Amino acid sequence: MIGTESRAPKGIVRAALVAAVRAPSPHNTQPWRFEVDDRRIDVFLDRDRVLPVADADGREARIACGAAVVNARVALAAAGQSSTVELVPDKENPDHLATVWLGNAAPVRPADEALCRAVQYRRTNRRPFLDRPVPARVRHAMSQAALTEGATLVLLDRPADLDRLAVLLRQAETRQSEDPAFLDELRRWTSHELGRTDGVPLAAGGPRPAEGTLLALRRYGETSTIVRPYESEPLVAVLASATDTALDHLRAGQALQRALLAATTAGVSASFLTQPVELPDSRVAVREMLVQPAHPQVVLRLGYGFATASTPRRRVEEVTRRRD
């Protein structure tokens, strides 16, 4: 219930923040700030961490913050704490993206604990996946998970759609990799430093794709000389929303995270192919591919992969201000 007087022990709020910061974000920028007391967690956009080239209007940063909201709520549920969320609660301050209100104590279901574990295990996996199809049961679980947060996960099952997306992806990847401003930004967020707490570490990149690989993955650093074939029939999904407002971006982030956690609990890995939705004209082209009129927010590659390195995060204390 919004505005409830329930108070949670500090440890529970901290656990929610530890989960929140595990959310994915573009180039691992972690574009969030939190203000908390024992009744609420306020989530703010950190404008200094919005990517000026790849994400000039902050759409992807808001998606990341929506994902952080879901992680916080999943951790609260696993700690026996109900919660509700209010999106964009302050019309005067559009950077105040969400308030998570803590509710009453609630019974913990095994599914809550499984999702909370998945928050820690989930990571972007840019390595080749096995040539093993993702079963209908798991596809359904991911789609339903996205729907519960008001966005649609469109699985590209028709070969023609996959091929079309692959062309748009390759074109967008080429354009971005020829844009000095984009490359400079990518370089600054690719981490070569031990101990750095943001950016994408080189170890999180994948091997070079063998000649003829369908999907063009973003290259974070070029250290690997290893060449590997990627899966021959990749599963690609477009996460889309009905309209394209700041609220939709937050909802898309929540849906993204629910879908990724559903995938993780089923042993399915994901990586992002967002290049074509970062360029306005190719985003329109992706939009035209979707049967329902919808705005593409994120493109995912899904499959069964091997373990991959986790990426660092700034400490909760660095991104949180306590009000009490």
Residue closer to ligand FMN (CB basis): 126 or 139? 126
Q: Which stretch binds ligand FMN (CB under 6 A): 12-20, 26-34, 38-46, 155-163?
A: 26-34
- Residues 195-231 as b/e (b if ≥16 CB within 10 A, e otherwise) read eeebbbbeebbbeebeeebbbbbbbbbeeeeeeeebb
Residue 276 Cβ vs ligand FMN, minimum distance, rounded to whole Å: 9
Q: How far is the CB of 261 from ligand FMN (least distance, A)?
A: 12
Determine the Cα angle at 258 with ends 313 and 104, to 5°: 90
What is the C-alpha separation between 23 and 17, in angstroms, rounded? 10
> Which residue shows structure tokens 């974070």?
220
State how far the Cα of 231 lies from the Cα of 215, in Å rounded to an integer: 10
Contact between 27 and ligand FMN per CB under 6 A: yes
For ligand FMN, the binding residue among 274, 279, 303, 316 (CB under 6 A) is 274
Distance separating alpha carbons of residues 131 and 140, to the nearest angstrom: 20
Stretch that binds ligand FMN, among 60-68, 140-148, 161-169, 284-292 (CB under 6 A): 60-68
Alpha helices in 9-58 (DSSP H): 10-20
Cβ proximity of 236 and 215 under 8 Å: yes
Q: How far is CA 82 from the centre of its chain?
A: 23
| Nearest CB to ligand FMN, comparing residues 84 and 308 | 308
Rule CB under 6 A: choose which of 36, 64, 186, 240 binds ligand FMN: 64
Residues binding ligand FMN: what is the number (CB under 6 A)?
Answer: 20
Instruction: Give the integer Cα–Cα distance in Å for 195 and 179.
Output: 29
Q: Which of 311, 316, 319, 320 binds ligand FMN (CB under 6 A)?
A: 311
- Give the C-alpha separation, 63 to 298, whole Å: 9
Binding residue (CB under 6 A) for ligand FMN from 33, 96, 126, 258: 126
Comparing CB distances to ligand FMN, the nearer of 102 and 206 is 206
| Cα–Cα distance, 206 to 200 (Å, whole number) | 12
- Provide the terminal-to-terminal Cα distance of the chain, rounded to the nearest Å: 21
Residue from 16, 25, 36, 295 touching ligand FMN (CB under 6 A): that is 25
Smallest gap from residue 124 Cβ to ligand FMN (A): 4
Q: Which stretch binds ligand FMN (CB under 6 A): 8-16, 19-27, 31-39, 76-84?
A: 19-27
Q: Which span sits near ligand FMN by CB under 6 A: 42-50, 56-64, 104-112, 227-235?
A: 56-64
Q: Concatenated DSSP letters for 133-186?
A: PPPHHHHHHHHHHHHTTT-EEEE--SHHHHHHHHHHHHHHHHHHHT-HHHHHHH
Both structure tokens of 201: 């570490």
Can you tell me which of 60, 112, 149, 248 binds ligand FMN, judged by CB under 6 A? 60
Q: Does 73 bind ligand FMN (CB under 6 A)?
A: no
Nearer to ligand FMN by C-beta: 82 or 274?
A: 274
Closest separation in Å from C-beta 161 to ligand FMN? 19
Residue from the set 13, 24, 44, 269 that interacts with ligand FMN by CB under 6 A = 24
Q: Does 123 bind ligand FMN (CB under 6 A)?
A: yes
Name the residues that contact ligand FMN, by CB under 6 A: 24-28, 60, 63-64, 123-124, 126, 200, 218, 271-275, 298, 311
